[in-house]
Amino acid sequence: MRIGPEHVSRQPSDTYYVNHDTVLRTHTSAHQVELLQSGLDRFLVVGDVYRRDEIDRSHYPIFHQMEGVKLFTPAELAPAQGNPDRELQLIQDDLKRGLEGLATHLFGPTEMRWVEEYFPFTEPSMELEIQFQNEWMEVLGCGVVHPEIVANAGRNPNQDKGWAFGLGLERWAMVLFDIPDIRLFWSQDERFSSQFASGQIVSFQPYSKYPPCYKDISFWLPPTQDDNDNYQFHVNDLNELVRGVAGDLVEQMELLDEFTHPKTQKVSQCYRIYYRSMDRSLTNAEIDALQEEVRRLAESELNVTLR
């Protein structure tokens, strides 16, 4: 899949390894090669994917993707008259038109924008962002399939050309059903699930706004250590630790402040953690206990020095 050892989708900081050899699927693009190899020219493939990531309303460690691939027939490429640049343009125009059309079909007139990106399996690559509750939200990655993917599938890259995309299904559902926070998909609360029925598109009616509560945590980062990177700090380790302690009670975490001590060169960071339940009010005692546990584990597992 043209994903070298350095790529984020292999990094322990961004993925969930089951053991040394096995990683939980990080994206459905992983299936492109095998499906092309099986002889398919167009397909959709849907699956659950797993990533260590930020904590905010549009990120969750498990989510679902829908991957789409289309290879063009010679007749479809004919208007480009065998000119590689024109073929690229033709494929890209078709891709953009299709995905913009999908968004407009589902959401009605919507503010959207294309952002250039890098993905190993497409060239060029881009992302589509949609305005949702006053912010831009990335809803898909896509591009023109890289010739090496086609070659790796045992096919002829001079003939088989086309596009691919990967949609974040929860995010599309957030826009479609007006669901403000991705955690809600995991809520067991009847007040959530009873609002939806198969085949119906409705706007979610928030049943409550429980108050958020935030706590700050400040620490000195561990010094950068040996070749095994053992003591290096990655923010996703903290994200994971906080999710492990607070589960769905954590809504967001942001870096508030960072500075380097002028003499020791040590780096200090301060994060703000927002706690809020989707379903009920949290008590002070409960939040204090969570924060205490986050502090304890940060010190013992991440080698940071609390301030």
29 binds ligand DAH, rule: CB under 6 A:
yes
The encoded tokens of residue 295 equal: 């502090």
Taking CB under 6 A as the criterion, the residue among 63, 72, 119, 233 binding ligand DAH is 119
**What is the helix (H) or strand (E) element at residue 237, kind and residue range?**
helix 235-246
Provide the 8-state DSSP code for 85.
Answer: H
27 binds ligand DAH, rule: CB under 6 A:
yes
CB atoms within 10 A of CB 286: 15
Provide the 8-state DSSP code for 7.
Answer: S
* Nearer to ligand DAH (CB atom), residue 155 or residue 276: 155
* Nearer to ligand DAH (CB atom), residue 137 or residue 297: 137
| Options 73-81, 104-112, 158-166, 238-246: segment touching ligand DAH (CB under 6 A) | 158-166
Q: What are phi and psi of 306, to 5 degrees?
A: -65, 150
162 binds ligand DAH, rule: CB under 6 A:
no
What's the CA gap between 197 and 175, in Å, rounded? 17
- In the complex, the smallest distance separating the C-beta of residue 159 from ligand DAH, rounded to whole angstroms, is 19
165 binds ligand DAH, rule: CB under 6 A:
yes
Distances in Å between the Cα of 194 and the Cα atoms of 19, 183, 198, 206 are 39, 16, 11, 12
Binding to ligand DAH, residues 64-83 (CB under 6 A): 67
Between the CA atoms of 150, 152, 154 and 159, what dihedral angle is there, to the nearest 10 degrees?
A: 20
121 binds ligand DAH, rule: CB under 6 A:
yes
Distances in Å between the Cα of 136 and the Cα atoms of 79, 112, 297 are 35, 8, 34
Strand partners, 260: 267
| Options 95-103, 162-170, 267-275, 288-296: segment touching ligand DAH (CB under 6 A) | 162-170
164 binds ligand DAH, rule: CB under 6 A:
yes
Among all chains, which residue has been given the structure tokens 């939806």? 196
- In the complex, the smallest distance separating the C-beta of residue 66 from ligand DAH, rounded to whole angstroms, is 10
Task: Count CA atoms closer than 13 A to 34's CA, side-chain side.
Answer: 5
Taking CB under 6 A as the criterion, the residue among 77, 103, 142, 153 binding ligand DAH is 142
* Nearer to ligand DAH (CB atom), residue 165 or residue 233: 165
52 binds ligand DAH, rule: CB under 6 A:
no
Residues that bind ligand DAH (CB under 6 A): 27, 29, 67, 119, 121-122, 125, 141-143, 164-166
